[in-house]
Amino acid sequence: MEKIIEESKQGDSLVLEYKPENVKKLYIESYGCAMNFSDSEIVASILSENGFNTTQVMEEADLVLVNTCSIRDKAEQTIRKRLEKYNAVKRAKNPKMKVGVLGCMAERLKSQFLEEEKIVDLVVGPDAYKDLPNLLAEVEEGRDAINVILSKEETYGDISPVRLMSNGITAFVSITRGCDNMCTFCVVPFTRGRERSREPQSIINEIQDLSDRGYKEVTLLGQNVDSYLWYGGGLKKDFVNATEMQKATAVNFDQLLEMTAVAFPKMRIRFSTSNPQDMHESILHVIAKHPNICKHIHLPVQSGSDRILKEMNRLHTREEYKDLINKVYSIIPDCAVTQDMISGFPTETEEDHQDTLSLMEYVKYSFGYMFAYSERPGTLAGRKMEDDVPEETKLRRLQEIVDLQQKHSLIRSQEFIGKTVEVLIEKISKKSAEEFSGRNSQNVTVVFPKENYKIGDFVNVKITSCTSGTLKGEAIGLSDMN
């Protein structure tokens, strides 16, 4: 899965290469989106330069860090339960253990954490990870430490993240941080700050390093990748004040994606997430032109109703979205499109919900992430709109959306039967040690007998059967991407 880290990995602890000179032990857990998992690698990298080895045994840790998610109330409740667990360990087994909260919940709740959750010693927002060594020094001296300052510049472009929680084949590379879109339901602009882009050369260098170490696929990550704009640093919103020279030499997402595809012809390039209002036809031509750019666009729409889209401050209409979809399918005929949907946004009527279902029928998404609306304090919808759709209605509508998606996923999967697709082998299949598992360009999981292939190979696989989420087939040879 591309954007949201799969359920089984939520809360995974990260393990780094052991450095004998490091004497302290760090236990770090991550929740939420790919950006958080990627940030934890940056944090681990900073701390491994500052005396820490990682451990997977919380009971023996000197420092426990949890990288948190605020996107829905449920995500925050999960973290609260984890904090209770750390507290129990601290009391019963390891009184010297320090606990730090990182990420979006740290940013949202700030010092409230130190006041309410007595076990928390350290609160660090998503733009302050480089300050961790200083903050830890404060904690060592017995003081609570907090840094939740959001930055105009920070992209961590100069930190090379450690990669040891990955499969050695696919990696995330952050290209933008923050978001300027202000969708009225969304807490991200508040927790991750204003949008800024990372210097292209540092992105290319990071991918080069990954390539040198045998990685075969990167996913360029951002809240809104199509809005990427490098003009020498600074916030996207300040581009209007850039000098003529900066404007003339600026790099946009089309250019970055093309640059990456050309520089690394033997690597697969993915990107996520695209926002419909920022995605232009030009990018579709870039995707169509380069075989190593995966034919998959994650294009969340949230609702199919014009009225709700407006209330959500999504800056496009249903018709405009359909036009964009038409362009996608005409310029890149084999492209998979995936969605995010929210059911039960305030004031959503049965008719609005039907509009969502009919838009889904129109697009026939390959896959989706679907959620019941969760009011977030501080957002515009949270402040100005009553959360007036009853929970059971939200859940019933959500189920209808999920059921329809399931049907469409199956249709999309069936389209591959009889076809040959290129698969990058990522791992041994969970279900059978005799089979490999990987993904095709459209981001669908493909499972097939191992034969003599190995992890990291690009293999052409003839698809013989499927479920809604998985294709099955047989390898017919290595592809020319090797």
Choose the binding region for ligand F3S from 97-105, 110-118, 175-183, 444-452 (rule: CB under 6 A): 175-183
For the segment 385-404, give every residue that binds ligand F3S (CB under 6 A).
none
Q: Is 33 marked as a binding-site residue?
A: yes
Q: CB-wise, 51 or 382, nearer to ligand SAH?
A: 382
Please answer whether residues 63 and 145 qualify as being in contact, where contact means their C-beta atoms are separated by less than 8 angstroms.
no
Question: CA-to-CA distance for 180 and 260, rounded, in angstroms?
Answer: 25
**Min separation Cβ 375 and ligand SAH, Å:** 7
DSSP for 309-347 reads HHHTT-SS-HHHHHHHHHHHHHHSTT-EEEEEEEE--TT
> Using the rule CB under 6 A, which residue among 33, 64, 135, 186 binds ligand F3S?
186
* Per CB under 6 A, 145 contacts ligand F3S: no
* Per CB under 6 A, 223 contacts ligand F3S: yes
Phi, psi of 155 (to 5 degrees): -130, 0
Q: How far is CA 85 from the centre of its chain?
A: 26
Q: How far is CA 160 from the centre of its chain?
A: 18
* Per CB under 6 A, 302 contacts ligand SAH: yes
**Min separation Cβ 241 and ligand SAH, Å:** 25
DSSP state of 111: T
Residue 189 binding target from ligand F3S, ligand SAH, none, CB below 5 to 8 Å by type = ligand F3S
* CA triple 417-419-423, angle to 5 deg: 100
* Per CB under 6 A, 342 contacts ligand SAH: yes
> Using the rule CB under 6 A, which residue among 16, 42, 44, 186 binds ligand SAH?
186
* Per CB under 6 A, 31 contacts ligand SAH: no
* Per CB under 6 A, 338 contacts ligand F3S: no
Nearest of 167, 142, 137 to residue 6 by alpha carbon = 167
Question: CA-to-CA distance for 482 and 476, rounded, in angstroms?
Answer: 14
Question: CA-to-CA distance for 101 and 434, rounded, in angstroms?
Answer: 41
Give me the 214-243 binding string for ligand SAH, x by CB under 6 A, dash otherwise. Answer: ---------xx-------------------
* Site of tokens 């390093």: 209
Q: CB-wise, 48 or 302, nearer to ligand F3S?
A: 302
Residues in the chain: 482
Binding residues for [4Fe-4S] cluster: 33, 69, 104, 179, 183, 186
Binding residues: 33, 69, 104, 179, 183, 186
